[in-house]
Chains A and B, each alone.
Chain A
């Protein structure tokens, strides 16, 4: 039997949803029939709108896709303006205020507290500068990720940016690829450091070389079926196919059509590409692709560069593990990577970012998969003045390792899947750790990723310390808790973290990390990295080294934040929620 979601999609899906959005915007929130909420909210995702969680009815999260993380000159300013005008909620966040941009782990942008009534105006303004929310969520081609310094990087093997843009232009709004069984996440990497993170995407292009007709050609090997969600993480698998940059778009479309036709539409849990690859095997996928979906003879895989991958690797390879800092480009200019703690930046700071990028660089801003931003094309002689800008005090190119290593998802603040509070908590953790814990000598990179549930939006399984939302009882009371995993990372031999300690009450986690680091320092051999240490230590020993403990860290959000209408409201009780509200933010009567 087809699922409800498949039925809704067969009725209305894809581009046409926009007309309905415009109608609802004109008539107002109440025009969305109550007995069609589930169906419409599912469809709205295709146009980048996610209805926020219980207690926040009529407010939406809006995701804007920026292919390969590139915001062209002028675009960041428009994002800042839209945030200032349309992304303010009924309550402020105690750390971030009201009105902020989230730079995400898939190089996109998320805004919150958006009203459906404002959507047409926002869409128009995005359209004017070539930005869009199309397919930012929903069952189709999501934002295409890649090395954020593609085209500028000194470590580049092949320029991946035209390929990412070609895929984006071809498959956004393409009727044949509008309605897939599930989301379709694509990564294109051309650099030697592996910063596209192809291993955790449905479809990955990875830099490679191949001898074709006696000539060495640069292009990509193709991999399929990676992903982190649902407690079933998979690394992408080698399809044994090499493509030139010119062939990449056609082969990507062939694979997405294969997924469209063969993917599971009966069971959404089983629908992702990773499960189709489990089921068919890479070899059969390759044969099917060749026979049914492409018109030319596929080459076998070329020579890859995976040995050199350093991004998010937890290794000391000499390569970059993120894009923070000042780095020379291939044209002699510089790019400056700024650390954005847990990816969240106020609207005013975003406007400043746009100004600074314009004044010192080309006006372009790029987003990384570690929730940071990059200003590109800065001439060497302007670096000194750029460093003096006040913006760089808060978003440093040279941050403390605990700040630099922090990644966190949305969590109970807005997300209906979440089990625990995340972003603010990770900020509190990072600040406490910075003040109270010394990292062992020479450890400049130490990644702590916090995800509110198993969907794994913060990519916890590829961090040094992986944190995942849970519940437990402490002194008989239900409290928010975290599972702790260790030693994950990408690189030459990617590996997901082992979940060594489960259900640690959230106020004991900073103590656990502190003790763990002290134990690591004591047992460390030479200058090995934390990941190296974890890999040579057995799981039982690791579990003993974690030692959760209460410390001076206090957690104000131990209680069930999900049962509040907004965790940071003075009166956080569900019944005190102003939602749903009308176009002016006035409460509407709610009949249940």
Chain B
């Protein structure tokens, strides 16, 4: 089953099936990003560059700034959500980028 994935508002949102689902401006804890040396970067997401799907995992590339060390840059593909039975489920990124189990999300 195909989902419509796109980036809206100049990179401010990932839209899934015509609903804005993942926003910039959150802090994401991400292990080992390319642009800084922190073991666990804490990134203010400033803009999405690309969105895609790998199996059931929705992934995005983004730019942002690590608030631990202050470096800015662009990331590789990071998981942002999952598609289960055609429905999008958000991942908990505040706590850490390692995908957690799907949690229903109200939008």
Residues of B within 8 A of A453 (CB): 12, 24-25
Residue-wise interface mask of A (268-308) relative to B, using a CB-CB cutoff of 8 A (1 in contact, 0 not): 11000000000000000000000000000000000000000
A162 CA to B26 CA, complexed, in Å:
47
Residues of A within 8 A of B20 (CB): 53-54, 416
A54 CA to B15 CA, complexed, in Å:
11
Residue-wise interface mask of A (553-576) relative to B, using a CB-CB cutoff of 8 A (1 in contact, 0 not): 000000010100000000000110
Q: In the complex, are the beta carbons of B67 and A416 less than 8 A apart?
A: no
**Residue A20 lies at the interface, judged by CB distance under 8 Å to chain B:** no
- B18 interface neighbour in A34, A268, A503, Cβ under 8 Å: A34
Known contacts A419-B24, A562-B23; A38/B18 CB under 8 A: yes
Size category of the A interface is 20 to 34
Known contacts A35-B18, A37-B19, A470-B44; A416/B12 CB under 8 A: yes
**Residue B94 lies at the interface, judged by CB distance under 8 Å to chain A:** yes
Known contacts A37-B18, A454-B46; A471/B27 CB under 8 A: yes
A308 CA to B46 CA, complexed, in Å:
38
Q: In the complex, are the beta carbons of B27 and A478 less than 8 A apart?
A: yes
Residue-wise interface mask of A (248-285) relative to B, using a CB-CB cutoff of 8 A (1 in contact, 0 not): 00000000000000000000110000000000000000
Residues 416-436 of A at the B interface (beta carbon under 8 Å):
416-420
Size category of the B interface is 20 to 34
**Residue B55 lies at the interface, judged by CB distance under 8 Å to chain A:** no
Q: In the complex, are the beta carbons of A503 and B67 less than 8 A apart?
A: yes
Q: In the complex, are the beta carbons of A417 and B9 less than 8 A apart?
A: yes
Question: What residue in chain A is nearest B42 (Cβ atoms)?
Answer: A473
Residues of B within 8 A of A389 (CB): none
Q: In the complex, are the beta carbons of A575 and B67 less than 8 A apart?
A: no
Residues 112-156 of A at the B interface (beta carbon under 8 Å):
none
Q: In the complex, are the beta carbons of B67 and A38 less than 8 A apart?
A: no
Question: What residue in chain A is nearest B68 (Cβ atoms)?
Answer: A473
Residues of B within 8 A of A230 (CB): 10
Q: In the complex, are the beta carbons of B12 and A417 less than 8 A apart?
A: yes
Residues of B within 8 A of A229 (CB): 10
Q: In the complex, are the beta carbons of B4 and A471 less than 8 A apart?
A: no
Residues of A within 8 A of B42 (CB): 473
Q: In the complex, are the beta carbons of B27 and A269 less than 8 A apart?
A: no
- B11 interface neighbour in A4, A38, A269, Cβ under 8 Å: A269
Residues of B within 8 A of A471 (CB): 25-27, 44, 67
Q: In the complex, are the beta carbons of B26 and A592 less than 8 A apart?
A: no
Q: In the complex, are the beta carbons of B15 and A469 less than 8 A apart?
A: no
**Residue A93 lies at the interface, judged by CB distance under 8 Å to chain B:** no
Residues of B within 8 A of A590 (CB): 107
Residues of B within 8 A of A455 (CB): 10
Q: In the complex, are the beta carbons of A38 and B6 less than 8 A apart?
A: yes
Residues 3-37 of B at the A interface (beta carbon under 8 Å):
4, 6, 8-13, 15, 17-20, 23-27
**Residue A472 lies at the interface, judged by CB distance under 8 Å to chain B:** yes
Q: In the complex, are the beta carbons of A416 and B106 less than 8 A apart?
A: no
Residues of B within 8 A of A503 (CB): 44, 67
Residues 462-477 of A at the B interface (beta carbon under 8 Å):
469-473
**Residue B70 lies at the interface, judged by CB distance under 8 Å to chain A:** yes
A471 CA to B66 CA, complexed, in Å:
10
Question: What residue in chain B is nearest A42 (Cβ atoms)?
Answer: B8
Q: In the complex, are the beta carbons of B27 and A416 less than 8 A apart?
A: no
A230 CA to B6 CA, complexed, in Å:
19
Residues 458-504 of A at the B interface (beta carbon under 8 Å):
469-473, 478, 502-503
Question: What residue in chain A is nearest B87 (Cβ atoms)?
Answer: A592
Q: In the complex, are the beta carbons of A478 and B94 less than 8 A apart?
A: yes
Chain A nearest CB: distance from B25 CB in Å?
4
Question: What residue in chain B is nearest A472 (Cβ atoms)?
Answer: B67
**Residue A36 lies at the interface, judged by CB distance under 8 Å to chain B:** yes
A455 CA to B26 CA, complexed, in Å:
17
Q: In the complex, are the beta carbons of B10 and A268 less than 8 A apart?
A: yes
Q: In the complex, are the beta carbons of B17 and A35 less than 8 A apart?
A: yes
Known contacts A54-B20, A470-B44, A473-B27; A502/B13 CB under 8 A: no
Chain B nearest CB: distance from A443 CB in Å?
32
Question: What residue in chain A is nearest B70 (Cβ atoms)?
Answer: A502
Q: In the complex, are the beta carbons of B13 and A416 less than 8 A apart?
A: yes
Question: What residue in chain A is nearest B27 (Cβ atoms)?
Answer: A478
Question: What residue in chain B is nearest A53 (Cβ atoms)?
Answer: B20
Question: What residue in chain A is nearest B13 (Cβ atoms)?
Answer: A416
Chain A nearest CB: distance from B38 CB in Å?
13
Chain B nearest CB: distance from A214 CB in Å?
50
Residues of B within 8 A of A36 (CB): 18
Question: What residue in chain B is nearest A483 (Cβ atoms)?
Answer: B65
Chain A nearest CB: distance from B49 CB in Å?
8
Known contacts A471-B26, A562-B25; A592/B10 CB under 8 A: no
A53 CA to B25 CA, complexed, in Å:
14
20 pairs across A/B with beta carbons < 8 Å? A4-B6, A34-B18, A35-B17, A38-B4, A38-B8, A38-B18, A54-B20, A54-B23, A269-B11, A453-B12, A453-B24, A454-B46, A469-B25, A471-B67, A472-B67, A473-B42, A478-B27, A503-B44, A503-B67, A560-B26
Q: Which A residues form the contact surface with B (CB < 8 A)?
A: 4, 34-38, 53-54, 229-230, 268-269, 416-420, 453-455, 469-473, 478, 502-503, 560, 562, 574-575, 590, 592
* Nearest 8 Cβ contacts at the A-B interface: A419-B25, A37-B18, A417-B12, A471-B44, A478-B27, A38-B18, A592-B107, A416-B9
**Knowing that A269-B11, A574-B107 are A-B contacts, what are 11 other residue pairs whose CB atoms are under 8 Å apart, sorted by A's residue number?**
A34-B17, A38-B15, A230-B10, A269-B10, A416-B9, A417-B9, A419-B24, A470-B44, A472-B44, A478-B26, A560-B26
